[in-house]
Structure 1
C-alpha cells in the first residue's frame, strides 16, 4: 500500500508516493526534484490541484498533472496499491505501470 502526498517544493506542487507504513522525507524529495526545500502542501491547494478530496488523492487522473516522485521501495514489489480517487478505494498495479502512467521519477523519498 502506498499513500499519495502533495508537497510544495520551491513554490511548486509535487506529488510523492510513499509506503503507508513510513513517512515522506521532505529533504530527499527536494533533492529528487532539484529544489532547495520542500514542505507539505496546503490541503486546500492539494485538493484544488488534484480534483480529489484529502485522504483520497490519487497519483492517477489528477485534474492538473503534477510532477510525481515514487519511492524506490515500490519497485521491490510485483504489485502496489494506490488510492483510486476516493477514500477507501484503491487500485492495484505493477510499480512500473505506476511510474509510466504518472511519468514519475523514482527516488528514495520515504523513510
Structure 2
C-alpha cells in the first residue's frame, strides 16, 4: 500500500504564517532525494533566482548554552560566513551545528528546516542581501515545500537581526 503525500502546507511554518495574517504563497515542487543541494534544487524547480531562495542553517557558537545555537538565513547562491555570524551575535566563534541537534531543536528535518515555526525560538540572523528583494523564499518546513514572503515579514516573524553573514 502506498502512502499518499500530505497536501502542501500544514507545517508549523505555514500555520504560523496563517495565524499571523502574513501574506505568503506556498511554492511546492517535487523533491528528488538524490539532489546534491536542497536550496539549488528549489531554485531550479521553481524557476527562481537563487539569490531570492534562502537556506536555513544552524550554527553553534561559544555563547552560553541557552544562547549558543543560532539560526542563519542566507541565499542558496552563497555560503555562510561563520566569522561574520559569530561577530553578528557577539560570539568569538561559530561552527555548523550537528544535523541531529538541528533537527531535534527545530522540529524539522535537514533540507526542510524553516526559520519559521521552530519548536523553540532561536536567535536568528538574516543576511542583509535578503532585504534587496521584494519577496524571498524559505523552506516551508518540509523538503519540496517553500513559502514566498516579503523579507521584512521574515525578519519580523523570526525577531531576526539583519547582518552581512554570507560570503
Q: Smaller-chain TM-score range?
A: over 0.9
Kindly indicate which of the two structures has a greater share of residues assigned to helix: 2
Partner residue in 2 for 1:7: 59
| Residue from 43, 59, 70 that aligns with 2:115 | 59
**Which one has a bigger Cα radius of gyration?**
2
> Residues of 1 paired with 2:115 and 2:148: CA distance?
12
Partner residue in 1 for 2:38: none
- Which runs of structure 1 show a deviation greater than 3 angstroms over 4 or more consecutive aligned residues? none
Structure 1, gaps ≥5 residues long: none
**1:38 Cα offset (Å):** 0.1
User: What number of residue pairs does the alignment pair up?
Assistant: 111
Q: Secondary structure at the match of 1:61?
A: coil
| Residue from 86, 93, 102 that aligns with 1:46 | 102
**1:7 Cα offset (Å):** 0.4
Kindly indicate which of the two structures has a greater share of residues assigned to strand: 1
TM-score by length of 1: 0.99
Q: Does 1:80 align with 2:136?
A: yes
TM-score by length of 2: 0.66
CA RMSD of aligned residues (A): 0.6
Q: Bigger shift: 5-14 or 41-50?
A: 5-14
**1:88 Cα offset (Å):** 1.3
| Residue from 68, 72, 78 that aligns with 1:16 | 72
> Residues of 1 paired with 2:91 and 2:137: CA distance?
28
